[in-house]
Each structure stands twice: as C-alpha cells, then as structure tokens.
Amino acid sequence: MNYKFLIILAILLVLALLIVGTNISEKPQNNYLRIAAGQEIKGINPFNPAFNDAYSQFVISNIWEELYRYTPDFSDNPSAKSSSDRRIFPWIAEEMPSYKKVGDKYEAIIKLRDDVYWWDGERLTADDVVFTSNLMLKFRIPPQSWAGWSITGDESYVESVQKLDDFTVKYTLKELVPIFETGALMGYIFPKHQWETIIEKSIENHHKGTDKISEDERILIASEIWSINLGKNIKLNEIIGSGPFKPADWRKGEYIRLDANKDYWAKGRILEIDGREYEIGPYIDGILRKVYRSPDISNLAMKRGEVDIAGISPSDIPDFEKFKTMKIEDYTANSLFYLGFNLRRKPMSYLSFRQAVSYLYNKELLNERIFHGRLPPINSVVPFVNDYWHNSNLSKYGRGMSTAEREYKAYTILKEGGFKWSKEPGFNIVDGEATELIEKGEGLIMPDGKICPEVKLMGARPEDAPDSAQANIMLQGWMLDIGIPAKYTPTEFATAVDKLSPIDGSEPDFDINTSVGWLTDPDPGYIKDIWHSTQMPEVTAGGSNYSGYNNPEFDEMAEESAREMNPEERREMIFKLQEMISKDLPVYPTSTVKRIQVYRADKFKDWFNRKMYGIGGCNNPYSYMIIKPT
C-alpha cells in the first residue's frame, strides 16, 4: 500500500488520540441546572410576536414578571373573593385589585409591592406599570404574555391608566370583564428607564408633525420595537428585568445560559404548593439550556449525565426506570385536539352524520393501541385537566363500547336521521347487542335523496406524524365499514391551515379536519374566541371558527360569559357552552396530550410538577426558583 496514505492515516489517528487524550479540561464545579431542549430559542425581545414559542417564552418568562399570576398549584386564593377566577394571586402586586363603579365606567385600583427591584437596583414602581400599559394601549404592540394581547385592539376595554402614587395604579375601564384580570394584569411589566428612550427615538424616527400618530406610523413604530435584537442591540448583560434568572451567555444554535439573580426581590418569600411551604430562592447557580435536535441523542445525553432534565416519550420509560438517580414525572397538558366538521357542506351539515362519526371514532382504543397512552381522550373543549372550568357531564359518545357496537350505533343514528343505503351494513346481533360487522354497507344516500359524496379526512401526513396518520386510516376504515365513502387525505400542516382559514376571507375548504389542535389557556375565554360566529374565516379573515358554527344562542352566552365577573355564574355559562358544542358537534373533542419528563433526582430536589405544565418550562416559573441542589 502507498506509504503516503499510511502516513496520512497515522497522522490523523495520532491527532485524534491527542485530542481525545488532552481533552477534556476539568469543568468548574457548579450547580447549574442543565436542560435538554428540542429547539433553539428564536429570540428574547418580549414585544416580538414571532417569539411566542414555548422555547423563547421560557427565557422571557424568567426575565420579566407579571402583576398577577395563577397560583402554582391552581388552587383557590382565599383573597380572590371578588375576582373572576379564584386561582389568581398577586405577584408584583401587593393585593388583589379593588373595583369601583364611577358613572358608566369602572375604576380598578392596583396596589404594588414596594420591595420589587429591577436588576440594576432601581425600584419597580407605578411608573413602570403605567408605562407598560400605555405602550400597549398606544402602539398596540402584541406583548408576549400569551393572554396579554387582549388589551390591544379597538375593542379594548381599558380606557386609560394612571399613577396615583409610587405604588398605586388606577385603570379606568369601559367595562369590567374577566379578561382584564387574566389578560391585561397578567402581562409582563417592563422597566420604563430602559424602554422609554428607545420608544421615544422610534416615535421621532417615524412620526412626522404634531398630529396624532397615524395607523401607518404606529405599525412602523411597533415593528421597529419588536425588531430590536436583544443580545445584540441591547447586550445580554444590559437587559433589565426583575425575574429570578438573568440571561448571561447565548451561543445561537448551541445553548443559552441564565444566571441566578442572587438579589431576587422575592427571595425568602413563602409559596404554598399542594399544602407544603416552599421558600423562594433561587438556590441553583443558574440554568444552561442546550439544544439537541434529535430526541434519541437527548436521551443519550440524559443517560450519560450531560443534562439534568429532558422530555421523553412513553416508549423510553422502561429504559429510564433502570436509572436510580433519575425520576420520571408525567403531566397532562391543557391541549385540545378534535375532529372538526365543515358544517357548510353535506353530509357534515347533518347532525346525525356528525354524531355517527363521533361514535365511530374510538378514541380510547386509539390512545391505547396507536398513541400508547400519549393522547388521553377528552369529551369537552375544556380538557379535564383544567378542572376549574371543565364540564364532566357531557356525552361520552360510545365510551366503553366495542368497535362493532360503535359501528352499529352509528348505523342506527344515520338510519334514524334519514340516511339510506343501496346495501345496508350487516351486523351479528346477540341479545340485542352487535357483536360483529358481517357485511359492509355500500351506496350511502343522504336524507335529501342524493348520493353521499366522498368525505375527505384531512389529516397529518404519515411522514410528519405516523401515529396520527394511522388513526386517520382507522377512522376511514370504520366509516367505510358502514358505507360512508371516506377518504383519508394526508395534508401538510401549512396547507391544512390555509384550507381551514384562508387569509383572503374565502370559505374554508375541507370536509373533516383532524390535523389541528390548540394549547389552550387556563381561562376558557378561548371558547368564544374560537367558536363565536364572527370568527368564521369568511366573516373575519383568519378567524378560527373553521367549522362555520353559527348558533345565536351560543354567541349570546359566549358574549355574556366574557362579561361575567362572578366566577360561579361564569362557570355555569362556560359549562353550558361546553354542552352546546358537545350537542351540536361543530367539533368532536378527541384528546389532550400527556407529556413525560425525566430529571436527576440525585442532583436537585424539591421539584414541583405543576398541573397542566409539568416540572419545568415557560409555564412553570416556580420550579426553578425553589429547587435546591442535593
């Protein structure tokens, strides 16, 4: 063999060994929590609407804080007697808001804590709250607190905000609505002394003359503010927040490091969670969030001890159970998946058809066989995990029935609804119960005498979500069994969104949709936002009522519920709204999502598994401020 080649190979080998041999330097001893993340964060500018993903929000939510929050364990707060949701409790605020009716308007008085400090040592005062609120009122910049956007728009219920003293703020409201508490008061507060100059400069750049800021100018100002690159235009160590962790080092595509705020204003404050008291830290040195683009690799990193917490899938559980140093926790997310029917088209416009399909969809079987317990079945558009608003007395649509029983029930419903067949499906009936389908139905005829057209099941593509595709194929099979001409149509996600909610304001183009789900808020206001008739895409371009549900009774109650401040009465309305959807079936709720996390119990203790959100992430800000190194 050529000696030069051998020499090159030898040099490469020696080089490799040298590198391996000299590496790795001793890592400094530390108590950083190392998190395995699936994606990198997009950015940390809190005003940028693109940064609404959970990854970016994880960092943002550790920097800025809200006036009010939901209690850590979503238990009732005894002092929230006059609030629209008893689970709300003050964070930066000192106490719950007090309301007063003045003429045809309302005044909300918010008292702030006087011990909250920004990272640069300045005190957080009413000036900051007024500045932040005005920023949204004047420029309608979509803030990144997921509910906070509700303060924006022409229909805003907030008229003005003013400072009464250094620690008291008054909001004047056109009407008193629950979203004021769960939206506006849960938005992040920003330091006036950092952002005011930036915004004034932007106004100077884009606002000409002395008149009121025009719509075009407002857009230019807002987009300039959300384009500010935090980490570059404002360096990481210059960002001013009030939260428990400060961004310290960010290498894009690799990791971000947050350092503990050793002077955190809430340090020492007691949090009561599930009957146990926790003293707020933070006790760890900080958080290191590293990107692993493949779950297989993040699993290996977890096992090798490169990271301390990671998300895993159900099939990984037995593998991780072998590690005594690790603990596995799961939680059910507040997610909502459903079959969406296009009520504008036949046969979906027939209630009996929608009921029949709902009976056919055996979500219990699918969860067990296809999704391996990952998608627990739900019966309401408010998932059961949000028990404060969940109505558990809704139709279960065939729960506990066998496939043959479901198919027989669906056939009966269609028959009673006026559907006919050229050849009816045949069942083996024993003691009045269907035990087996013995002959498939054919030639379904609708109550209007016309032949039932092909019903397209628009669902995820097998390459994107193989298990969902399998579920669609099974539903297609069950529908074909009783003679419904169903066809699973794999559709890429963006195409599906385009068909469901065309941006040009035209009618949605689908029959049955199985590809879209929502991560819902703890507040059920989303029911109105999604299914109110004004949200049909042909009425409001980009609206979310894809099904075209148009029920005046529903609309009226949804509007009323959005104004009702008494939680008990509001709950009744929300329950009724869930009933209406369950009865009218514009959508058939199918499942929520169960997520599993594994963490190093030998390194950190006092983890808190928050209902709906798990032991970490952007919606559980509490875990990281209370965990302690062992």
Partner 1 sequence: MGRLRYPLRRIIEGLITLFIVMTIIFLLFRVMPGDPLSIVIDPKMTPEVKEMIRHSYGLDQPMFVQYGIYLKNLLTLNLGESFRYSQPVSEVLAAKIPNTLLLFTSASVLSAVLGIILGRIIAWRRNSKLEYGLTLAGLFFYEMPIFWFGLILIYLFAFRLNLFPISGMIDFELWTLGATTGEKIIDILHHLILPLITLTTASFCGMMLLMRTSMVETMKEDYVEAAKARGLPDKVVRDSYAARNAELPVITAFILSLSASIGGGVLTEKIFSWPGIGYELYQATIGRDYPLAQGCFFILTLMTILAVIVIDISYAYLDPRVSYD
Site for partner 1 in 281-320 (CB under 8 A): 288, 290-294, 296-297, 300-301, 303-304, 306
Per CB under 8 A, 8 contacts partner 1: yes
Residue 58's identity, in one-letter code, is F
Residue 193 CB, nearest approach to partner 1 (Å): 24
Cβ nearer to partner 1, comparing 293 with 605: 293
Site map (CB under 8 A) of partner 1, residues 130-169, x = contact:
----------x-x---x--x--xxxx--------------
Cβ nearer to partner 1, comparing 125 with 133: 133
Residue with token string 């385009």: 498
Which of 33, 48, 90, 358 touches partner 1 (CB under 8 A)? 48
Which of 200, 254, 454, 602 touches partner 1 (CB under 8 A)? 254
Cβ nearer to partner 1, comparing 49 with 447: 49
Residues within window 459-518 making contact with partner 1, judged by CB under 8 A: 492-495, 497-499, 501, 503, 518
Per CB under 8 A, 212 contacts partner 1: no
Per CB under 8 A, 355 contacts partner 1: no
Cβ nearer to partner 1, comparing 111 with 600: 600
Cβ nearer to partner 1, comparing 33 with 124: 33
Which of 81, 100, 201, 251 touches partner 1 (CB under 8 A)? 251
Distance CA 278, CA 276 (A): 7
Distance CA 414, CA 421 (A): 10
Residue 41 CB, nearest approach to partner 1 (Å): 10
Largest CA distance in the chain: 98
Q: What are phi and psi of 445, to 5 degrees?
A: -115, 130
Do you find a cis peptide bond into 314, omega within 30 degrees of 0? no
- The one segment of 47-55, 105-113, 547-555, 599-607 that binds partner 1 by CB under 8 A: 47-55
Site map (CB under 8 A) of partner 1, residues 533-562, x = contact:
-------xxxxx------------------
Residue with token string 């884009």: 206
Residue 591 CB, nearest approach to partner 1 (Å): 19
SS (H, E, C) 523-586: CCCHHHHHHCHHHCCCCCCCCCCCCCCCCHHHHHHHHHHCCCCCHHHHHHHHHHHHHHHHHHCC
Residues within window 59-88 making contact with partner 1, judged by CB under 8 A: none
Per CB under 8 A, 276 contacts partner 1: no
Work out the number of other CB atoms within 10 angstroms of the CB of residue 7.
Answer: 10
Query: Do 55 and 42 contact (CB within 8 A), yes or no?
Result: yes
Residues within window 367-406 making contact with partner 1, judged by CB under 8 A: none
Q: At what angle do helices 567-584 and 552-561 cross, to 10 degrees?
A: 160
Residue with token string 């028990």: 387
Cβ nearer to partner 1, comparing 13 with 429: 13
Which of 10, 13, 14, 16 touches partner 1 (CB under 8 A)? 16
Distance CA 367, CA 374 (A): 7
Query: Which parts of 38-94 are beta strand (E)?
Result: 65-66, 68-70, 88-90
Per CB under 8 A, 411 contacts partner 1: no
Pairing of strands 32-37, 286-291: parallel
Site map (CB under 8 A) of partner 1, residues 94-133, x = contact:
----------------------------------------
Residue 222 CB, nearest approach to partner 1 (Å): 7
Please give the torsion angle defined by the CA atoms of residues 40, 45, 51 and 53, in that order, rounded to the nearest 10 degrees. 60
Distance CA 492, CA 42 (A): 23
SS (H, E, C) 443-504: EEECCCCCECCCEEEEECCCCCCHHHHHHHHHHHHHHHHCCCCEEEEECCHHHHHHHHCCCC
